[in-house]
Amino acid sequence: MTPGRPETLKRPVYLDYHATTPVDPRVFEAMRPYFTEHFGNAASASHVFGWRAEAAVTKAREALAAFVGANPREIIFTSGATESNNLAILGAARARSAPGAHVITSALEHRAVLDPCRRLETEGFAVTYLKPDPHGVTTAAAVAAAITPLTVLASVMAANNEIGTLNPVGEIARVCKERGVLFHTDAAQALGKIPLDVHALGLDLVSFSAHKLCGPKGVGALFVRAVNPRVRLVPLVFGGGHERGLRSGTLDVTGIVGFGAAAEIARAEGEAEARRVFALRDRLWERLLARVEGLSRNGSPSVCHPGNLNVTIPGAPADAVIVEARDLAVSSGSACTSAEAEPSHVLLALGRSRAEAEASIRFGLGRFTTEEEVDWAADEVARAVAKVRMERAPPLR
Ligand SMILES: *Cc1c(COP(=O)(O)O)cnc(C)c1O
């Protein structure tokens, strides 16, 4: 903290927007009536409670579809990007199952893609896990080289959740289409951060999550292309035949309304927000660079999610830094893998050593991040790193 500056900063400071985001108050206001007055089941066709719920779901579906360039009937609501990834990967592969059928993905995917791919291996599918380039990019050429006559599906994320790298999903979609391979992308981190038009990019299946977009947790969507080609999926859940039979179960009307509101806000404000967040992210990087010796950056500095900064700090294990800077919420590696206390599979796949991966911190900036927070965070990390390094240094005589 700069001496003499008034202490206005509210702590703790949240810089972990890749893990989840706060619900925008406007989203919360849109959702509120659907908890209480408008509590109907969207599948109740015989009364006004059901009609109101159904109308609200339709409006949200249209808002999300307009935002991503889809037809509303191509949007299937789910419980989040994890379920969307499972439905896309297991559903598309099983629908095209044949002896020796082959699936392509990248080693940098979220666990919600890697685990269903592992599951497919137990079902007899062959899976290729592509190694990225040094910036973490999976190129269209790498995907093209891996395609065989038996390949049925490729899945490569749009924006990486740890290092923020963006993949050329339009180019990958093109090489897949040429070879008759379906292409899925996990766009949980990309939605609202970078322009995304599913038809312009030629995507077949795209996963989304509301809570990465200042919407509520527990709701997501899967874009399923309806024409050219019409993508067929084997459902994971059977029941009332909701969502065109692809995802049975009473719809989370409240959550879906929140997702729709979040999509409308991101559509109107996303570009300006991305510019603002990008500038804050660069400010954070420059201030860290000036204060912390030996710092290096993971991922691609230019082709990157606007709010992502992933750094390696030699001689300062991330867990020790995070404990020391306890009023700062950041992540060491991805939240999902850090529960297992394993170094990040993403950083290892980039060629970082185990020690380097364990000395890496992910910052995630977003809608409500301020300049004051960024400045404080840089000072606080510098202080914590100095302390950790001193404690680890051999005693001087
Ligand atoms: C958060 C995230 C997911 C999981 O989304 P949920 O909606 O929490 O299930 C999947 N993929 C990526 C890239 C993510 O960032």
Cα of 34 to ligand 1 centre, how many Å? 25
User: What does the block give as tokens for 340?
Assistant: 């297992």
What is the SS3 assignment for 335?
A: helix
Cα of 315 to ligand 1 centre, how many Å? 31
Q: What is the pLDDT of residues 212-234, one digit of tens each?
A: 999 999 999 999 999 999 999 99
In the predicted model, is pLDDT for residue 6 greater than 70?
Answer: no
209 lines ligand 1 (CB under 6 A): yes
Marked catalytic residue, from 117, 214, 304, 336: 336
Ligand 1 atom closest to residue 82's alpha carbon, by position in its atom list: 9
Instruction: Give me the DSSP letters along 197-236.
Output: -TTTTT-SEEEEEGGGTTS-TT-EEEEE--SSS------S
Q: What is the pLDDT of residues 122-146, one digit of tens each?
A: 999 999 999 999 999 999 999 999 9
Determine how many CB atoms are found less than 10 A away from the CB of residue 286.
11
**Mean predicted confidence (pLDDT) in 104-113:** 98
Going by their DSSP bridges, the two strands 296-297 and 220-224 should be labelled as: unpaired
User: Cα separation of 365 and 324, whole Å?
Assistant: 20
Q: Report residue 372 CA to chain centroid gap.
A: 26
Contact 15, 380 (CB under 8 A): no
Cα of 9 to ligand 1 centre, how many Å? 30
**Mean predicted confidence (pLDDT) in 319-324:** 96
Q: Is the dihedral of CA 294, 300, 303, 304 positive or negative?
A: negative
Quick one: what percent of the chain has pLDDT higher than 90?
92
User: What does the block give as tokens for 221?
Assistant: 């969507």
Ligand 1 atom closest to residue 19's alpha carbon, by position in its atom list: 1
In sequence order, the 6+-apart residues with CB closer than 8 A to the CB of 203 are 169, 173, 183, 184, 185, 223, 225
The preferred substitution site among 82, 86, 165, 345 for testing ligand 1, maximizing ligand atoms within 8 Å of CB, is: 82
Q: Report residue 202 CA to chain centroid gap.
A: 20
Cα of 51 to ligand 1 centre, how many Å? 31
Cα of 195 to ligand 1 centre, how many Å? 18
**Mean predicted confidence (pLDDT) in 298-321:** 94
User: Cα separation of 203 and 68, whole Å?
Assistant: 11
User: Cα separation of 291 and 285, whole Å?
Assistant: 10
Domains of the chain plus CATH, in order, are 13-23+270-390 (3.90.1150.10), 25-265 (3.40.640.10)
188 lines ligand 1 (CB under 6 A): yes
310 lines ligand 1 (CB under 6 A): no
- The pLDDT, as a whole number, for residue 333 is 64
In the predicted model, is pLDDT for residue 277 greater than 60?
Answer: yes
**How would residue 339 be classed by pLDDT, with cut points 50, 70 and 90?**
low
Size of the chain, expressed as the number of residues it contains = 397
Q: What is the pTM of this model?
A: 0.96
Q: Which residues of 55-71 are buried (b: 16+ CB within 10 A; e: fewer)?
A: ebbebbbbbbbebbbbb
User: What does the block give as tokens for 250?
Assistant: 């009473």
**How would residue 342 be classed by pLDDT, with cut points 50, 70 and 90?**
confident
| In the block, residue with structure tokens 């891996």 | 146
Ligand 1 atom closest to residue 219's alpha carbon, by position in its atom list: 7
- Give the residue, by CA position, lying nearest to ligand 1 atom 12: 188
309 lines ligand 1 (CB under 6 A): no
User: What does the block give as tokens for 112?
Assistant: 């919600």
Residue 343 gets which letter from DSSP? P
**Mean predicted confidence (pLDDT) in 342-361:** 93
157 lines ligand 1 (CB under 6 A): yes
In the predicted model, is pLDDT for residue 335 greater than 50?
Answer: no
**How would residue 295 be classed by pLDDT, with cut points 50, 70 and 90?**
very high
**Mean predicted confidence (pLDDT) in 143-165:** 98
**Mean predicted confidence (pLDDT) in 262-271:** 98
222 lines ligand 1 (CB under 6 A): no
- The pLDDT, as a whole number, for residue 8 is 77
The preferred substitution site among 76, 109, 110, 344 for testing ligand 1, maximizing ligand atoms within 8 Å of CB, is: 110
Cα of 82 to ligand 1 centre, how many Å? 6
Contact 116, 91 (CB under 8 A): no
**Mean predicted confidence (pLDDT) in 308-332:** 96
Mark whether 336 is an active-site residue.
Answer: yes
Cα separation values, 150 from 100, 184, 286, 331, Å: 7, 17, 48, 39
In the predicted model, is pLDDT for residue 1 greater than 50?
Answer: no
User: Phi/psi zone of residue 315: left (φ > 0), alpha (ψ -120 to 50 degrees), beta?
Assistant: left
What is the SS3 assignment for 165?
A: strand
221 lines ligand 1 (CB under 6 A): no
**How would residue 302 be classed by pLDDT, with cut points 50, 70 and 90?**
confident
- Give the residue, by CA position, lying nearest to ligand 1 atom 2: 188
User: What does the block give as tokens for 143?
Assistant: 């995907």
